[in-house]
Chains A and B, each alone.
Chain A
Amino acid sequence: MPRTARAPWRWMSFLLLALTVVAVPARADTPLQDVLQTVQAEVASPARGTIPDVLRALLDADAPGTLEFLRAFADREVVERPEDGLFFIAQDGPDRSLILIDVDSGAEIATVTTRDVNQIRPNAGVRREIAAALVQFELSAPDPARRIAAMDAIARSPDPEQMPILAASIPDEPDAAIRARKERLLALLTARFETDSATRVAAIEALTGDVSTEARRVLNQLLQTEAGHAQFVPEGVNIARIRVVGEDLDLLRAHARLAEDGLVPPRPGRNAIRDALRAHVVDGHVGGIPVHRLTDEATRREAYRALQEDGLVPPLPTEAEMRAAVAQFTFYDRYLEDDPAVTTAARAALDSTRTRVGLFQALNLSLEALSLASIFFLGAIGLAITFGVMRVINMAHGEFIMMGAYTGVVVQMFIPSHTVSIAVALPLAFAVTFAAGVAMERLVIRHLYTRPLETLLATFGISIALQQLAKNIFGPQARPLTSPDWLAGAVRLNDIVSISTIRVAIFFLALMFLILLIYILNRTRLGLEVRAVTQNPGMAASMGINPDRINMLTFGLGSGIAGTAGVAIGLFAQVTSEMGANYIVQSFMTVVVGGVGSVFGTLAGAGLIGFLQKGIEWFNPANTLAAQTYMVLFIILFIQFRPRGIVALKGRAAGD
């Protein structure tokens, strides 16, 4: 049992490390050495029976340095000076010497040899006592953070010894949350280490429905299996599953397993056969077969069998022989845990927890999808507006996102406070990209209204020029856009459901833009005119609406939103000159899937794509690239059935 025996020392040293960092407040005045001298004999030759008294004395006196001393004590680093019976902490010095350290001041007192002092060597039982005392001490510490840290340490490397200590600390626990945590931790320890089967089963049943990683890890540990085989399944082995050779166990694997245990002679593999043949080449022949013919497996086996008959090589069993050998054994998976009641209960608990875990995972995935959808929405809505109103594809839209993000970076160079700088950057990015959009509309797009495909190309030209300009100005490396501290954390429901605060903020930003746009489009004069131009530009012009002005403002608005979105995206993604290009195709997809010229269409498109991408990722979580590939394929197929998107304008306005 060496593994479990070492475990407490590992966590204990961690605990003590944590303690030495936490400033120990000044307590009683009695120096530690004096306290130690009161129990001199018991410390000098520690024994299981007397050590509790020593510990009580030390902990009651609570002298500074007690914890360090106890750690050294447990690590067998304490020595007694025979002349005066004083205790020191000893560290290894040069040439097998020892450096003595004063237990109170921590100062180096002297350098001695091992013969000058008595090294105190507490046995394992004593060391466990010391460790338990320390845990108890920490679990009842007045600072809640220390109590939580102690529990974290226990959870990280659990040990049966901790159970009574933990149980004892529960009744006095004042904090309800920590108390609940202690109770759960106790249940975890009980499930794992308790000796009484019924108590364990009860503890496991109490864990049913607990979705925390800790609880599921304990249950999974209880259900760990190892493969085994025997001629007759021995009594008392907790079998998880019997494997049938040929059905759920490969014949070669089964044979190899027997060979590993020396139950059958190993079957020479392809390489072994080749090496054996190589070793027995005689006059260009092996086993009577010329070497140049040995270019396929069957001939090689034939040659090998010939060698085998001459007794030159170990035998190559035929399939029938292997079957016969394997048939004498039963192959099974056994639980490492021997108690079937426990494994049955753990299996039941895990199965019923799985449903809850699944639901929470679905919830978490939905939240992630929602967050992705809001990012897509932010990226695409500006594009949707310009495309809807002006039938213009703006390939430089992504570069407006990038421009917005760099505006944020520049603002942060001048305003050190992150909160203030973001508050300034959001409207400023809008203004900058609004101006850029208006300039682009005036200078380029206005002249290309009758040639939509060429707008696509011209804006692409602008896009590559802007990208390179950004690279020339800001350099090729990613620039940081740091979010304020209050956006740095995550909102957590439990171990499964959590979402970073920044994404929540982006969701609300998207929501804000949605409401703002709906308001502008439906409640303002500008919105009325925009909708008129969207539905029938000719008619709108004849009714006194100046389409030039509307186009300009729309383009500015779309670009401005892109800029603001850029600040938001820059907060969680890297700000580089290529960042826009990463979003542009997704944004196009969103617009195309959603349907051109409709805020709700874009919303639906963003929702569909966001949820779809996360949904595909769920089936194949390791591979985001594959998810994106399948998503694009889906979109291509989707367009087959709804060429005008989810929310399609109908009738003549649809632009036949």
Chain B
Amino acid sequence: MADIARPVTLPGAARPAPPRRSFLREHPSVLWFMLILGIFTAGVTLLSEAFGIGLVSTSLVKILGMTLCLCLLAVAMDVVWGYCGILSLGHFAFFGLGGYAIGMWLMYARTEILVRQSLEAGTIPPTEREVSEAVASQIFSVVGSNELPLIWSFAHSLTFQLAMVVLIPGLLALVFGWLAFRSRVTGVYLSILTQAMTLALSLYLFQNDSGLRGNNGLSGLQNIPGFLDVPQSVISMWFFWASALALGLGYMLFAWIVSGKFGSVVRAIRDNEPRVRFLGYNVEGYKLFVFTLTAIIAGLAGALYYPQAGIINPAEIAPIASIYLAVWVAIGGRGRLYGAVIGAALVSLLSSWLTGGGAPNIDLGFYRIVWTDWWQVLLGFGFVLVTLFFPKGIGGLFDRLVRKQE
């Protein structure tokens, strides 16, 4: 128990004598995390409807898989905020962009299959143009159009859209970060600026002529082209495994990055940016690297999340979502990767339990507490209390426990 609680960046990271020890050996908390994640994944598999005794319903598997994606997003957020000190209010937007990129393929390819089926019923096989026109009118009739927007030109290609999952959030973060960091916008200003970016993006997506179906968003994403006859209970498990794998790999990657000298530089930037500059480090480059890398991981997490959610629309990436993300990380504990995971898992699961009507309402006699009404109030004020009294979040409690044991 002592090992799991030790932050990955404790001094042990930097033993000078280099008898080459493996990364995991030096960072037992990562090992512990992997172990718990593995047990959890195996457990859910054995309890699932598709591969186990059926105690865990398919919809719960989806919620758990989505939660794993949110945890990965939170880990990325923790790296950019907790380690590098950039309170980005744009990472949920990167997450959403990843979802849109993969959603375009899912929606196009599935519609194409259906369209081909109906067209091929005719005596003459359809031309490519007929197929693409029929697909376009299927997808875009909700926004009063029947033309395929330019950005969908390669939506039929899974490879291309997968590349977009990485490239769109990555390039956006690169360009935005370059502009912002270059002009030395920091602190609260930077947060507001990232929020502005998120707002611009969601407003853009809300437009019907954005080419992404306006506020209807993309839907039917849970149907995976090529596997349309595979039951959802099985597909949900595939995505659950993929999410667990992504979280595991992402966690390792970030743990490796924030340990060692790079982590040391990044934390130094968080604590005193000008000083790092006078040591000769190109601070902007480091911030840009962290900002972009975390944006890419966020995009990947989104690409795994939305096929499980089944639908994505611009409301998902409104600025408030990114603020919630910051809240999860703050509650879990900044500057600790496992803190971000705990925060995201706890708050998002609690939130969907309480707002989904799963929790029993409490009758006080004179007043009836309906959780769907009061959860946000509780979360809001609870968060204020956490910020005031437990600035290190839940992860900080672990630290106290460890110190007591010592």
A273 CB to nearest B CB, Å = 10
In the complex, A564 has a CB within 8 A of chain B: no
Which of B182, B191, B373, B382 contacts A472 (CB under 8 A)? B373
In the complex, B380 has a CB within 8 A of chain A: yes
In the complex, A629 has a CB within 8 A of chain B: yes
> What's the Cα separation between A625 and B206 when bound, in Å?
8
Cβ contacts A249-261/B at 8 Å (1 or 0 each): 0000000000000
Q: Are B127 and A297 in contact (CB under 8 A)?
A: yes
Q: Are B207 and A457 in contact (CB under 8 A)?
A: no
In the complex, B42 has a CB within 8 A of chain A: no
Provide the residues of chain A in CB contact with B209, threshold 8 Å.
Answer: 623
A501 CB to nearest B CB, Å = 30
Which of A457, A468, A581, A635 contacts B383 (CB under 8 A)? A457
Query: Given known contacts A278-B122, A472-B374, is B380 in contact with A637 (CB within 8 Å)?
Result: no
Q: Are B196 and A589 in contact (CB under 8 A)?
A: yes
Q: Are B124 and A636 in contact (CB under 8 A)?
A: no
Q: Are A447 and B388 in contact (CB under 8 A)?
A: yes
Provide the residues of chain A in CB contact with B217, threshold 8 Å.
Answer: none
In the complex, B188 has a CB within 8 A of chain A: yes
Q: Are A467 and B376 in contact (CB under 8 A)?
A: yes
Q: Are B388 and A462 in contact (CB under 8 A)?
A: no
Provide the residues of chain A in CB contact with B101, threshold 8 Å.
Answer: none
Q: Are A468 and B376 in contact (CB under 8 A)?
A: yes
Q: Are B380 and A466 in contact (CB under 8 A)?
A: yes
Q: Are A463 and B377 in contact (CB under 8 A)?
A: no
Provide the residues of chain A in CB contact with B128, threshold 8 Å.
Answer: 295-296
In the complex, B327 has a CB within 8 A of chain A: yes
Q: Which chain B residues in 184-223 approach chain A with CB under 8 Å?
A: 184-185, 187-189, 191-193, 195-197, 199-200, 203-204, 206-207, 209
Provide the residues of chain A in CB contact with B130, threshold 8 Å.
Answer: 270, 274
In the complex, B242 has a CB within 8 A of chain A: no
Q: Are A453 and B187 in contact (CB under 8 A)?
A: yes
Provide the residues of chain A in CB contact with B176, threshold 8 Å.
Answer: 636
A528 CB to nearest B CB, Å = 26
Q: Are A277 and B124 in contact (CB under 8 A)?
A: yes
A226 CB to nearest B CB, Å = 27
Q: Are B384 and A461 in contact (CB under 8 A)?
A: yes
> What's the Cα separation between A297 and B130 when bound, in Å?
10
Provide the residues of chain A in CB contact with B323, threshold 8 Å.
Answer: 395, 457, 460
Which of A295, A626, A643 contacts B184 (CB under 8 A)? A643
Provide the residues of chain A in CB contact with B207, threshold 8 Å.
Answer: 623, 625-626, 629
> What's the Cα separation between A395 and B128 when bound, in Å?
52
Provide the residues of chain B in CB contact with A278, threshold 8 Å.
Answer: 122-124
Cβ contacts B168-187/A at 8 Å (1 or 0 each): 00000000100110111101
Q: Are A453 and B191 in contact (CB under 8 A)?
A: yes
Provide the residues of chain B in CB contact with A286, threshold 8 Å.
Answer: 124
B152 CB to nearest A CB, Å = 20
Interface residue tally for chain A (C-beta within 8 Å): 57
Q: Are B124 and A294 in contact (CB under 8 A)?
A: yes
Query: Given known contacts A451-B391, A585-B319, is B196 in contact with A635 (CB within 8 Å)?
Result: yes
In the complex, A376 has a CB within 8 A of chain B: no
Q: Are A636 and B179 in contact (CB under 8 A)?
A: yes
For B189, the closest partner residue in chain A by CB is A592
Provide the residues of chain A in CB contact with B206, threshold 8 Å.
Answer: 625
Provide the residues of chain B in CB contact with A291, threshold 8 Å.
Answer: 123-125
Q: Is the interface of B mostly helix, strand, loop or mixed?
A: helix
In the complex, A318 has a CB within 8 A of chain B: no
Provide the residues of chain B in CB contact with A39, threshold 8 Å.
Answer: none
Q: Which chain B residues in 227-257 approach chain A with CB under 8 Å?
A: none
Query: Given known contacts A467-B376, A468-B373, is B203 in contact with A295 (CB within 8 Å)?
Result: no
> What's the Cα separation between A589 and B191 when bound, in Å?
12
A394 CB to nearest B CB, Å = 11
> What's the Cα separation between A161 and B142 when bound, in Å?
49
> What's the Cα separation between A278 and B207 when bound, in Å?
40
A469 CB to nearest B CB, Å = 6
Q: Are B379 and A632 in contact (CB under 8 A)?
A: no
Query: Given known contacts A295-B128, A632-B197, A632-B203, is B377 in contact with A639 (CB within 8 Å)?
Result: no
Which of B122, B179, B326 contacts A457 (CB under 8 A)? B326
For B195, the closest partner residue in chain A by CB is A585
In the complex, B126 has a CB within 8 A of chain A: yes
For B184, the closest partner residue in chain A by CB is A643
Q: Is the interface of A mostly helix, strand, loop or mixed?
A: helix
Cβ contacts A9-20/B at 8 Å (1 or 0 each): 000000000000
Provide the residues of chain B in CB contact with A177, threshold 8 Å.
Answer: none
Q: Are A274 and B87 in contact (CB under 8 A)?
A: no
Q: Are A456 and B87 in contact (CB under 8 A)?
A: yes
Provide the residues of chain A in CB contact with B384, threshold 8 Å.
Answer: 444, 458, 461-462, 465
> What's the Cα separation between A639 and B129 when bound, in Å?
45
> What's the Cα separation between A270 and B134 when bound, in Å?
14
Cβ contacts A614-631/B at 8 Å (1 or 0 each): 000000000101101100
A258 CB to nearest B CB, Å = 26
In the complex, A377 has a CB within 8 A of chain B: no
A591 CB to nearest B CB, Å = 8
In the complex, A452 has a CB within 8 A of chain B: yes
For B125, the closest partner residue in chain A by CB is A295
Cβ contacts B351-382/A at 8 Å (1 or 0 each): 00000000000000000000001111111111
A354 CB to nearest B CB, Å = 28
Cβ contacts A264-295/B at 8 Å (1 or 0 each): 00000010001001100100001000011011
> What's the Cα separation between A636 and B319 when bound, in Å?
15
Which of B124, B192, B373 contacts A393 (CB under 8 A)? B192
Provide the residues of chain B in CB contact with A270, threshold 8 Å.
Answer: 129-130
Which of B179, B197, B319 contacts A640 (CB under 8 A)? B179
In the complex, A448 has a CB within 8 A of chain B: yes
Provide the residues of chain B in CB contact with A297, threshold 8 Å.
Answer: 127, 129
B204 CB to nearest A CB, Å = 5
Q: Are A464 and B199 in contact (CB under 8 A)?
A: no
A398 CB to nearest B CB, Å = 11
Provide the residues of chain A in CB contact with B191, threshold 8 Å.
Answer: 393, 453, 456
- Point out residues on A near B: beta carbons under 8 Å: 270, 274, 277-278, 281, 286, 291-292, 294-297, 300, 391, 393, 395, 444, 447-448, 451-454, 456-458, 460-469, 471-472, 581, 585, 588-589, 592, 623, 625-626, 628-629, 632-633, 635-637, 639-641, 643
23 A/B residue pairs, CB under 8 Å, sorted by A: A270-B130, A286-B124, A296-B128, A297-B127, A393-B191, A452-B188, A453-B191, A454-B330, A454-B391, A456-B188, A457-B327, A460-B323, A461-B383, A462-B381, A466-B380, A588-B195, A592-B193, A623-B207, A625-B203, A629-B200, A629-B203, A632-B197, A635-B196
- Point out residues on B near A: beta carbons under 8 Å: 87, 122-130, 176, 179-180, 182-185, 187-189, 191-193, 195-197, 199-200, 203-204, 206-207, 209, 319-320, 323, 326-327, 330, 373-384, 387-388, 391
Given A444-B384, A453-B191, A463-B380, 18 other A-B contacts at CB below 8 A?
A: A277-B124, A278-B123, A278-B124, A391-B188, A393-B188, A456-B87, A457-B383, A461-B381, A465-B377, A468-B376, A581-B320, A588-B192, A623-B207, A629-B203, A633-B200, A636-B197, A636-B200, A639-B180
The 10 A-B residue pairs with the shortest CB-CB distance, nearest first, are A465-B380, A461-B383, A468-B376, A632-B200, A464-B380, A458-B387, A461-B384, A461-B380, A629-B204, A629-B203
